[in-house]
Structure 1
Amino acid sequence: MNEIYISYAWKDNKSELGSQREELVDKICAALISERYNLIRDRNYLTLGKSIQNFMEEIGRGNYVIVVVSDKYLRSEYCMFEAVKIIKHKGYDQKVFPVVLQDANVYTKEGKSEYIKYWKQQKEKLKQLIGSERTSHEDSAMHDVAEKIREISQKIDEFMFFISDKLSIDPSHNFNAFINQLTDTIRNDAVQLRSKKSILVAGTGDFNIPNEINWCAQKLGEKIAEYNYNLITGGWQGVDYVVADKFAEKITQQNIRLTDKLTHVVPRGKQPVFKGGKIEYTESGINEWLDCLRHSDLVILLGGVGGTYDTYVYAKQEKIPVIPIVCTNGDAKKVFDEMLTNWDTKLMGNISQEKFKSLNQYINDESTAEDVVNDVMDIVNEIIFAKTMLNP
């Protein structure tokens, strides 16, 4: 799950600037939550019994961080230690979205010097205080605080250079553009994450399959490869073979090792009909389904005469989304009708029943088959995005 943390100075809503800051953060949070992003805000997270230290560590590791920078933020031990944790992580500049408020004087040399001087003074004060402490317990506690202040004093200039140098949209002036900038970045990152996601394709297991199933299987193999997903099959003839064949053709054109992208899960003593990719052996029976599903993030069904329906049943039990290509008939049509009757919004991410119903199209040639597969892959991408990036 990719989380968006928001870091800001929040115990200051009695002053006018503090109230304005709180209102802006509330507005950002409301916009992201309305789109179901997984937002973590320290004011809500730090309930009784939660560790402030752990939260600071977590926010530093956050996939995305909105940093609302104010004068109070730049003088707060807690906020600045969060900032130190953030900039310690590789590639942070692509994942941090600074919002610099009007009272944060970071765009002038004098302003930056003032903040650097402030933290050097804090370090010296603690150094003197530690020298006057006598008990080991107090000394240990003071040393922990002093270490944080020392880190802040060392990193304050790097942090201020980053937030003043990075081009970022100010949400107080152009709110929608700021939200779009953030969500576009997350969606672009999701494209890279597809390479870690796997799709199981199951369907009619005969050599002689109807044209509409054959056309869809060919286009599906190509599209799964183009979108950089991994492919899982049961190693059968028919749909498994056709999808794997077209998938392998595209993968080899990309100069990628097929064994890194294609896995056949077959019973011991059996070989997959398609020669190529990685083989994982399992026991005959229910494990043929369960071990396939163990590798899979989503299932696509084409046709089928019994075993394909069983794939749906086991996938549903394992809470794995299923997309039946309804126009290939057979088990896929049966599953499509059943899913509409018992619609599971949570399992299907952002997909509405209306969008799902749009898959019920007629196929009469390769072109219409490609149109259907394109619609299927749009839904696949949306479901994978929702599972990876959003709150369930």
Structure 2
Amino acid sequence: MHRVRHPVRRRPRHPGGSGALSTPRLRIDTPERAGLDPAQLRRVVEDVHALTSGADPWAAGAVVAVGRGPVLAVEEAAGWAVRYASYDPRTGRGVELPAGSRVPMTAGTPFDLASLTKLFTAVAAVQQIERGTLGIDAAVGAYLPDFRGAAAHGVTVRQLLTHTSGLRPELPLYDYADDAARLARLRAEQPVGVPGTYCYSDLNMLLLQHLLERLTGRTLDVLVHEGITRPLGMTATRFGPCPGAAATEDQRRPWAKADRGMLRGVVHDENAWALGGVAGHAGLFSTGRDLAIFCRALLGGGAYGPARILGSDFVELLFTEPGLGFALDQPWFMGELAGRGAAGHTGFTGTMLVLDPATDTFAVLLANTVHPCRRPPDNGPRAALGTRLARAVRAI
């Protein structure tokens, strides 16, 4: 089993979540001022427009944000937030809306973050570890004894955060009649793999959500708002509904797991929807600018402006192999940025963020690749963005 290589040390919380010193906030400026090669960043902008163009684009629309240090050097929107009225399974194509009814993408368009939500759940958990109210190697059963499956197998908090609990990837909770039945099913779920073996699972973050809510007496949406988004000034980041968001899927069986029609502003993930829209693995909506702030705060050792959401030791803990919630050094979506401790995640709806402490850089790519219908994932554009950013740093 993977282990974090340094001990977890309790660190005093700064009063009101603020640090003793203010750190620089993001500002929009040129690539040169950011210490990035403008030619590579021009290609980033060209790429995002190419990805959203044509009859069968990679995504209907997208927003990309790239920066280094306190400088946001690229913030570009392309394509459409809403392009299709429905999906036609006979042709395998979307049914286009009339030109006047389409909604153009803007830099401020919110997106369904899908699994990027896991990063916020992980930060909320590490905040409790920093406070000393949660033990990273404590048994989940010590906090959730009624979750019999995990308790009987000695699943730990660390295993939930590192996807090494042995829990299966997902359960069809959306097929159960009500919340009581869904909760009973989740409580009874036992690991199907050997604890300590990696298996990416939404269930890890669902159990972590229940643990945090039991521990604090507050729901996950409140924990994320009070502990992360409000202090950082991420005013566009919240759990749904989010009426102005980019559209996602015309969600119908057999290609989807539920019959809900064209989705916009409500969570795409069927389990998160069945659970009321607030879930540890999915449900958050956000913008490119807000996620750039989130990246900047983590690259700044947990501080942004006068606010501090984590001590620097605990940000380091998030990014220590194999990563707590965050994936580390994954070339399949980070490209050439992987290799020196880059951290990030992707989301099923077409989202990605990656940050690289070694170069103090970050990239956010938000796209509605599932509009109008889900398709096999193509991670090439995500990896290409990471590669362009890595080359932009090396060229200076």
- The TM-score with structure 1 as length reference comes to 0.21
- Give the number of the structure whose residues are more often strand, by fraction: 2
Higher RCO (C-alpha under 8 Å, 6+ residues apart): 2
- Give the number of the structure whose residues are more often helix, by fraction: 1
- The TM-score with structure 2 as length reference comes to 0.20
